[in-house]
Amino acid sequence: MISAHSINYHGKHTFVSAIWNNAHTPKHRILLNNFSTTTAGDAPPKNDGHTKKEGGNKKEKDTSDLFFDNVGKIFMASLVLVISWLIRSSKSGGNQTQLREDIENRTALDPLEIDDLREANEPHFNVELFQTLQKVVLESFPRRVCKYEDFVSVVMKEMKGMGRGDEFTIQFGHLLDRVVIAVLEGKSDRRNTSSSSSSFGNEGVANDAELPVSFFLSLLTLCVTASVSEKYDLLFSILRANNTTNTNEEHNRNDEREQHHEGTGDVDSSKITLSEQDIIKMVGHLQDTCQLPPGPQVLEAETKYPLQEYKRGSAAELVKLGKVELFGEKSKKLEDGDLRYGREDFENLLRTSYICVWGECYNPKPVIREDAT
């Protein structure tokens, strides 16, 4: 009998040795070997980076699938946001328009009536006549306050004393009366005030309240036929003559400048200065006498959500915003509590888009901003 050992040659297995080994191997080991997916000599798979890459691709795929699976929801959410923004903007703009129209309705005079008033009094009511009346009024009311009927009496007496006849008076004076009534009584719709007479002072103003002389003089400028530059001069002269906020030192310096030019009858207004309180006072007069357009007076209120609300800016608020526009946001002048305004700064401030006297901001002259230094 040939043995398996004699058939092996130099340790090499032959077909006969394989049969021999299988015949003497337990059956449970044969079954395990048959069901094994790897051989004993197989090495573990090498990690060449493909596995990690496949994981990254899977994450990207998951993210991509998340977007595409919800693209409809994302689109609808974006559409709702856009529609909500449009509705909010529309309603906020409607609030702004409504306030502007409300200011127009509460204004005692509209621009056409102001034009009629000025045209009815030209050419005799010029700058020279206004300056004459201003001097008489200031001399008559040293306290710088008076009743409207007293103001009318002084003006009418002076005009009749000029020897130009009884007809020499302020035409369409009832329009001025209407403005005074609006200020004194604060009517909701001031244009409903009716009058059977068009004479100056005959509107039936029975209020005994005293108002600043500067207000009445600002009202009287509505009748004056003058250039825009001359109108600025008149407003500046009204504040200068009614100046109550100057320090004694500054007031004395202004008086000396006026006396220095008294011989020529011309005051060097470039060296006269006004305080910010003076200008706020004048802007308030311009608001009350219908000389500011309604649009620039509409300012954003603090309430912004759910809808932006608006308010009518006060004189102080308009001047504050006008200063920022005039000097620039970084100018140190904004922090100066004792800032003085000369004639040129006064005009430039009133021309800003937040004040816009007589609509001049729609045709402004160039304004040079100053830097922070």
How far apart (Å, rounded) are the C-alpha atoms in residues 225 and 130?
10
Question: Does the pLDDT of residue 193 top 50, yes or no?
Answer: no
Q: What value, to the nearest 5°, has the Cα angle with vertex 113 and ends 110 and 115?
A: 110
The DSSP code sequence of 207-259 is ----EEHHHHHHHHGGG----HHHHHHHHHHHHHHT--SS-HHHHHHHHHHHH
pLDDT at 302: 81
pTM over 0.85: no
pLDDT at 208: 75
In one-letter notation, the amino acid at residue 195 is S
Task: Encode pLDDT of 86-110 as tens digits.
Answer: 776 666 566 788 888 899 998 999 9
Cβ atoms of 245 and 237 closer than 8 Å? no
- Is 300 strand, coil or helix? strand
DSSP 275: E
Task: Encode pLDDT of 18-71 as tens digits.
Answer: 555 555 555 555 444 554 455 545 555 555 555 555 555 555 555 567 767 777
Q: What are phi and psi of 367, to 5 degrees?
A: -115, 125
How far apart (Å, rounded) are the C-alpha atoms in residues 200 and 175?
8
Tell me what percent of the chain is helix, strand and coil, each rounded to the nearest 5.
60, 5, 35
Angle, helices 213-220/127-140, rounded to nearest 10 degrees:
160
Angle, helices 148-160/127-140, rounded to nearest 10 degrees:
130
How many Cα atoms are found within 13 Å in the side-chain-facing hemisphere of 176?
26
pLDDT at 336: 76
Please give the helix or strand (H or E) that residue 310 lies within, else none: strand 310-312
Task: Encode pLDDT of 265-302 as tens digits.
Answer: 455 556 789 999 999 999 999 999 999 999 999 998 88
Question: Does the pLDDT of residue 262 top 70, yes or no?
Answer: no
Task: Encode pLDDT of 130-184 as tens digits.
Answer: 999 999 999 999 999 999 999 999 999 999 988 787 778 899 999 999 999 999 9
pLDDT at 301: 85
Question: Does the pLDDT of residue 264 top 90, yes or no?
Answer: no
In one-letter notation, the amino acid at residue 76 is M
Question: Does the pLDDT of residue 114 top 90, yes or no?
Answer: yes
In the predicted model, what is the mean pLDDT of the chain? Answer: 77
- Is 298 strand, coil or helix? strand
How far apart (Å, rounded) are the C-alpha atoms in residues 20 and 2?
11
In one-letter notation, the amino acid at residue 316 is A
57, 172, 179, 202, 360 from 196: Cα distances, Å: 90, 12, 16, 9, 35
Question: Token match 């036929």: residue?
Answer: 225
Q: Sort strands 310-312 and 298-300 into parallel, antiparallel or unpaired.
A: antiparallel
In this structure, how many other beta carbons lie within 10 angstroms of the beta carbon of residue 19? 11
How far apart (Å, rounded) are the C-alpha atoms in residues 108 and 191?
6
The dihedral over CA atoms of 266, 271, 275, 281, expressed in degrees to the nearest 10, equals 30
